[in-house]
Structure 1
């Protein structure tokens, strides 16, 4: 039986435990600085750190200080983060992020937001804009290959910064997910329609970034249940689409597939559904590709999943905000700090970011 403390072979890497730090947008670092060095270093006890979503080009998101990896200055900032994590015996992947149709033109000098089709997501809000407007209709992408090239260039920059690998963010209603889902993708060319065509975009990205890093240093994040950012297909379409993409990604022998379960709090328009993410466990050959699970896991649930071999590792998000030493607390079954301030979740300074105490403190 596996447990939180069990090491895990991930491609050429040896994870010291099976506690993964999730990608957490904190809206504090357009260019990573000393505060981010401290934040990630505090959490280097994780078996693997996944960075917050890291933009592959400048976009007008609801998080005006979300980091990117599209400039030399950002690469230099991330290198300091990576070097410090490595100095503290940690491993860290960069999550490559493009938000697609849920950007806003008014936050990017009038440049259009884009998506696979000219279909706006419902809901959303942009805190920096007067009246907090919702999502707007995107401009349909003319040439998806242009964006695939942006992901590849971002992977190259991540390698320059020294990251141990990269993860394609293909979940939560962002650009790659928008191509997969037939509610946001109504294209009639080779990038839409059939399951194979809708999955072409993420699979092409995976192939390109594998060419940069090697397949055993690449991961992908998927959220079949949808919900967040107005995503979600019928049960039949969901089951068939994700069976296909998981088989294809597994065949590429990448490092891991991270699948998030449905989270009702992230679904204000009630588009998503509670999908059994373990139905695809048998499609993933753990000899080469590990299976990570995510979304609202606590100690008991995570421990049971590992003991039953339902997953190879568990990804924790919000608990890693208020517990910088979360891996150590889970391994030793120590009390967790669940008292964190939502007001300091996005934006600000060290308050609610690097000032949470460890268990020993």
Structure 2
């Protein structure tokens, strides 16, 4: 393919990206005890060398949580900051740009997970409503989700996000992306099936939007215009999803208000069958055209589309002005030189190493399925 629009520079917040192919956040679980490693640095530098316009890190936990994903990185103490700076320094030296995705799991943590025990606090969520499903493979019996504790004062969590942003800035990240997608904490506040509060944090679309908007305001106090947000209005994953009209009302309000905050971008995840979880014979996702529905509400920030977008489609979307950039996930796992392949017309033909997508060391070697994918011959 002849990619011209995708390879054009783009101003995002205060920085200029060399192209419009972003690397989406991809949980890879190579951070033992939550701390970044040299191998993680190598992984991100590989993808800078492969041409990534903007790298968004895997989800970085803002506080200790009992994740389904052992070895997810954190950003709550000085050792996290120094480990993060090791990565950002290397990314910048290679000519790249990198945002940290800030992540809180909310109700899909588990109280018996080692990190949650160390945290010494309950599993917090907007309301005491359990998500269905879940499988904590690292815990005895592989338990599912449990009923969380409704957080009495959500502003405590807002402050945790802000402190995480302070730490991310100290670590040298170019910006932060709020993880507001895929049924995690921000989504739980937005979604009326997970949020049954009767105070100012729940009820109307305006009240359910309050938490995410307050977090975004706090992040911009730290990073100014270098703040993005990822949203998945179609729902489904982690047992969220509202009726269509309520979904459109909620997300159109949230996006309209968030767009007034001088954000860098909105990354919207379009409907994908893989996230359309079924419970009791009913699909949880709310299938609708994410691009057509919400694009008109983004007037100031850049609009980025995510979910199974190949470069050919991305070129058409950017060239037509429908989106400003695309965000690719899975193909960045298997192709460290993805943008170079696009530039040179090389296929995305590496075979995924499915058993080693997540943390699974081979004889103590964590690079398998992580930094060992081949680059094309140019």
Q: TM-score, normalised by structure 2?
A: 0.92
Q: Distance in 2 between matches of 1:219 and 1:111?
A: 29
**2:374 counterpart of 1:354:** no
Q: Which residue of 1 aligns with 2:233?
A: 224
Q: Which residue of 2 aligns with 1:213?
A: 223
Q: Which residue of 1 aligns with 2:24?
A: 22
Q: Give 1:11 shift.
A: 2.0
Q: 1:117 aligns with which of 108, 127, 130?
A: 127
1:168 aligned counterpart, secondary structure:
strand
**2:351 counterpart of 1:339:** yes
Q: Distance in 2 between matches of 1:74 and 1:88?
A: 21
Q: Distance in 1 between matches of 2:352 and 2:180?
A: 28
Q: Which residue of 2 aligns with 1:128?
A: 138
Q: Distance in 1 between matches of 2:343 and 2:127?
A: 46
Q: 2:305 aligns with which of 293, 299, 302?
A: 293
**2:338 counterpart of 1:326:** yes
**2:315 counterpart of 1:303:** yes
Q: Give 1:338 shift.
A: 4.3
Q: Give 1:105 shift.
A: 0.2
Q: Give 1:17 shift.
A: 0.4
Aligned length: 358
- Contact in 2 for aligned 1:224/1:238 (Cα 8 Å): yes
Q: Which residue of 2 aligns with 1:69?
A: 75
Q: Distance in 2 between matches of 1:111 and 1:129?
A: 18
RMSD: 1.3
Q: Which residue of 2 aligns with 1:184?
A: 194
Q: Give 1:252 shift.
A: 1.3
Q: Which residue of 1 aligns with 2:268?
A: 259
- Contact in 1 for aligned 2:235/2:275 (Cα 8 Å): no
Q: Give 1:295 shift.
A: 0.8
- Contact in 2 for aligned 1:291/1:311 (Cα 8 Å): yes
Q: Which residue of 1 aligns with 2:363?
A: none
- After superposition, the C-alpha distances for 1:19-61 in whole angstroms (9 at most, x for unaligned) are 0000000011121111011000001121100000000001111
Gaps of 5+ in 1: none
Q: Which residue of 2 aligns with 1:271?
A: 284
Q: 1:33 aligns with which of 28, 32, 37?
A: 37
Q: Distance in 2 between matches of 1:169 and 1:327?
A: 24
Structure 1 stretches of at least 4 aligned residues deviating more than 4 Å after TM superposition: none
- Contact in 2 for aligned 1:4/1:331 (Cα 8 Å): no
- Contact in 1 for aligned 2:236/2:277 (Cα 8 Å): yes
Q: Give 1:330 shift.
A: 2.0
Q: Give 1:2 shift.
A: 6.2
Q: Distance in 2 between matches of 1:261 and 1:169?
A: 15
1:53 aligned counterpart, secondary structure:
strand
Q: Give 1:277 shift.
A: 1.1
Moved more, 119-128 or 266-275: 266-275
Q: Which residue of 1 aligns with 2:98?
A: 92
Q: Give 1:273 shift.
A: 2.3
Gaps of 5+ in 2: 361-365
- After superposition, the C-alpha distances for 1:67-110 in whole angstroms (9 at most, x for unaligned) are 00011111111101000000011000000000000000000227
Q: Give 1:268 shift.
A: 2.8
Q: Distance in 1 between matches of 2:246 and 2:325?
A: 27
2:99 aligned counterpart, secondary structure:
strand
2:135 aligned counterpart, secondary structure:
coil
- Contact in 2 for aligned 1:227/1:264 (Cα 8 Å): no
Q: Give 1:130 shift.
A: 2.0
